Amino acid sequence: MADQQITQLSRDLFNIIKQIPSIRPQVEGLGEGISRTELELLAFLLINQSEDKRLYSPSEIGNLLSITPAAVTHMINPLEKAGFVERMPDEHDRRLVLIRLTRKGERIATLLIENFQERLEGFIDHIGVEESRTFIRLMNKMLTYVSSMSTQTEV
Protein backbone atom coordinates (compact mmCIF):
# COMPACT_ATOMS: atom_id res chain seq x y z
CA MET A 1 0.00 0.00 0.00
CA ALA A 2 1.31 3.44 -0.90
CA ASP A 3 2.39 5.64 2.01
CA GLN A 4 0.36 8.52 0.55
CA GLN A 5 -2.79 6.39 0.62
CA ILE A 6 -2.19 5.40 4.28
CA THR A 7 -1.45 9.01 5.19
CA GLN A 8 -4.72 10.18 3.63
CA LEU A 9 -6.69 7.42 5.34
CA SER A 10 -5.14 8.28 8.69
CA ARG A 11 -5.98 11.98 8.17
CA ASP A 12 -9.55 11.03 7.35
CA LEU A 13 -9.69 8.90 10.49
CA PHE A 14 -8.14 11.70 12.55
CA ASN A 15 -10.82 14.13 11.41
CA ILE A 16 -13.53 11.64 12.33
CA ILE A 17 -12.11 10.35 15.61
CA LYS A 18 -11.26 13.86 16.78
CA GLN A 19 -15.00 14.32 17.02
CA ILE A 20 -15.33 11.42 19.47
CA PRO A 21 -14.31 12.79 22.89
CA SER A 22 -13.18 9.51 24.43
CA ILE A 23 -10.63 8.71 21.71
CA ARG A 24 -7.90 11.32 21.70
CA PRO A 25 -4.26 11.51 20.69
CA GLN A 26 -1.61 11.09 23.36
CA VAL A 27 -0.44 14.50 24.59
CA GLU A 28 1.60 13.68 27.67
CA GLY A 29 5.01 15.31 27.56
CA LEU A 30 4.34 17.36 24.43
CA GLY A 31 3.66 20.76 25.92
CA GLU A 32 4.55 21.48 29.51
CA GLY A 33 1.67 23.31 31.18
CA ILE A 34 -0.48 23.29 28.04
CA SER A 35 -3.85 21.54 28.22
CA ARG A 36 -4.98 18.76 25.89
CA THR A 37 -7.53 21.09 24.30
CA GLU A 38 -4.89 23.76 23.66
CA LEU A 39 -2.54 21.19 22.10
CA GLU A 40 -5.37 19.92 19.94
CA LEU A 41 -6.01 23.50 18.82
CA LEU A 42 -2.39 23.67 17.64
CA ALA A 43 -2.90 20.44 15.66
CA PHE A 44 -6.17 21.77 14.25
CA LEU A 45 -4.44 24.97 13.09
CA LEU A 46 -1.62 23.01 11.46
CA ILE A 47 -3.97 20.56 9.72
CA ASN A 48 -6.21 23.33 8.42
CA GLN A 49 -3.60 25.82 7.30
CA SER A 50 -3.24 25.96 3.57
CA GLU A 51 -0.06 26.03 1.53
CA ASP A 52 0.02 29.82 1.83
CA LYS A 53 -0.03 29.54 5.66
CA ARG A 54 -3.50 31.09 5.92
CA LEU A 55 -4.15 32.77 9.24
CA TYR A 56 -7.42 32.49 11.15
CA SER A 57 -9.28 35.03 13.27
CA PRO A 58 -10.57 33.88 16.67
CA SER A 59 -14.10 34.08 15.22
CA GLU A 60 -13.18 31.76 12.33
CA ILE A 61 -11.50 29.32 14.72
CA GLY A 62 -14.56 29.44 16.95
CA ASN A 63 -16.86 28.70 14.01
CA LEU A 64 -14.69 25.79 12.84
CA LEU A 65 -14.51 24.31 16.35
CA SER A 66 -18.09 25.21 17.34
CA ILE A 67 -16.94 27.28 20.33
CA THR A 68 -17.26 30.98 21.12
CA PRO A 69 -14.58 33.49 20.15
CA ALA A 70 -14.18 34.16 23.89
CA ALA A 71 -13.37 30.48 24.43
CA VAL A 72 -10.84 30.66 21.59
CA THR A 73 -9.22 33.71 23.18
CA HIS A 74 -9.08 31.85 26.50
CA MET A 75 -7.25 29.00 24.72
CA ILE A 76 -4.96 31.28 22.71
CA ASN A 77 -3.66 33.31 25.67
CA PRO A 78 -1.56 30.53 27.29
CA LEU A 79 -0.46 29.29 23.86
CA GLU A 80 0.81 32.76 23.01
CA LYS A 81 2.51 33.11 26.39
CA ALA A 82 4.28 29.76 25.85
CA GLY A 83 5.38 30.80 22.34
CA PHE A 84 3.23 28.35 20.36
CA VAL A 85 1.13 30.96 18.55
CA GLU A 86 1.30 34.66 17.86
CA ARG A 87 -1.30 37.27 17.16
CA MET A 88 -0.85 39.18 13.93
CA PRO A 89 -2.74 42.25 12.70
CA ASP A 90 -4.77 41.64 9.55
CA GLU A 91 -3.08 43.26 6.52
CA HIS A 92 -6.40 44.49 5.18
CA ASP A 93 -8.10 45.50 8.41
CA ARG A 94 -5.78 46.49 11.25
CA ARG A 95 -8.67 46.19 13.71
CA LEU A 96 -8.71 42.42 13.23
CA VAL A 97 -6.26 40.04 14.88
CA LEU A 98 -5.23 36.78 13.23
CA ILE A 99 -3.66 33.73 14.84
CA ARG A 100 -0.49 32.14 13.46
CA LEU A 101 1.43 29.11 14.62
CA THR A 102 5.05 29.79 15.50
CA ARG A 103 7.77 27.32 14.54
CA LYS A 104 7.57 25.99 18.10
CA GLY A 105 3.80 25.57 17.72
CA GLU A 106 4.20 23.84 14.36
CA ARG A 107 6.80 21.48 15.85
CA ILE A 108 4.55 20.48 18.77
CA ALA A 109 1.48 20.16 16.53
CA THR A 110 3.48 17.99 14.12
CA LEU A 111 4.56 15.69 16.97
CA LEU A 112 0.97 15.38 18.16
CA ILE A 113 -0.31 14.63 14.67
CA GLU A 114 2.49 12.12 14.00
CA ASN A 115 1.79 10.34 17.30
CA PHE A 116 -1.89 10.05 16.53
CA GLN A 117 -1.23 9.12 12.90
CA GLU A 118 0.95 6.20 14.03
CA ARG A 119 -1.92 4.96 16.19
CA LEU A 120 -4.37 5.32 13.30
CA GLU A 121 -2.03 3.57 10.87
CA GLY A 122 -1.87 0.67 13.33
CA PHE A 123 -5.66 0.60 13.30
CA ILE A 124 -5.67 0.62 9.47
CA ASP A 125 -3.15 -2.24 9.42
CA HIS A 126 -5.29 -4.12 11.92
CA ILE A 127 -8.60 -3.90 10.02
CA GLY A 128 -7.30 -3.39 6.47
CA VAL A 129 -7.74 -0.71 3.84
CA GLU A 130 -11.23 -1.66 2.67
CA GLU A 131 -12.56 -1.94 6.22
CA SER A 132 -10.95 1.44 6.99
CA ARG A 133 -12.75 2.98 4.04
CA THR A 134 -16.00 1.41 5.18
CA PHE A 135 -15.41 2.67 8.73
CA ILE A 136 -14.76 6.22 7.46
CA ARG A 137 -17.85 6.12 5.24
CA LEU A 138 -20.04 4.85 8.08
CA MET A 139 -18.65 7.33 10.61
CA ASN A 140 -19.30 10.17 8.16
CA LYS A 141 -22.87 8.93 7.78
CA MET A 142 -23.23 8.84 11.55
CA LEU A 143 -21.85 12.37 11.92
CA THR A 144 -24.18 13.64 9.19
CA TYR A 145 -27.10 12.01 10.95
CA VAL A 146 -26.12 13.37 14.38
CA SER A 147 -25.62 16.82 12.90
CA SER A 148 -29.03 16.78 11.23
CA MET A 149 -30.64 15.60 14.46
CA SER A 150 -29.09 18.43 16.48
CA THR A 151 -30.30 21.08 14.01
CA GLN A 152 -33.82 19.59 14.08
CA THR A 153 -34.00 19.73 17.89
CA GLU A 154 -32.72 23.32 18.19
CA VAL A 155 -35.46 25.81 18.94
pLDDT of residue 52: 61
CA neighbor of 110 nearest in space, from 34, 43, 54: 43
CA neighbor of 5 nearest in space, from 111, 113, 116, 129: 129
- Cβ proximity of 146 and 82 under 8 Å: no
- Cβ proximity of 108 and 31 under 8 Å: yes
Which one-letter amino acid corresponds to residue 86? E
CA gap 75, 32 in Å, rounded: 15
CATH code of 69's domain:
1.10.10.10
- Cβ proximity of 64 and 48 under 8 Å: yes
Tell which wins on pLDDT, 150 or 23: 150
3-state secondary structure of 56: strand
Q: What is the pLDDT of residues 25-66, one digit of tens each?
A: 555 555 567 787 888 889 888 887 765 667 888 888 888 888
pLDDT of residue 5: 82
pLDDT average, residue stretch 20-28: 55
Domain range for residue 81? Answer: 3-153
What are φ and ψ of residue 144, in 5° steps? Answer: -65, -45
CB 133: neighbour CB atoms within 10 A? 13
Q: What is the pLDDT of residues 80-99, one digit of tens each?
A: 999 999 998 888 888 888 89
pLDDT of residue 22: 47
Contacts 24+ apart (CB under 8 A), 66-75: 75/37, 75/38, 75/41
CA gap 52, 77 in Å, rounded: 24
Q: How many domains does the chain have?
A: 1
pTM of the model: 0.66
Which one-letter amino acid corresponds to residue 146? V
Burial of residue 63 (number of CB atoms within 10 Å: 0-12, 13-18, 19+): middle
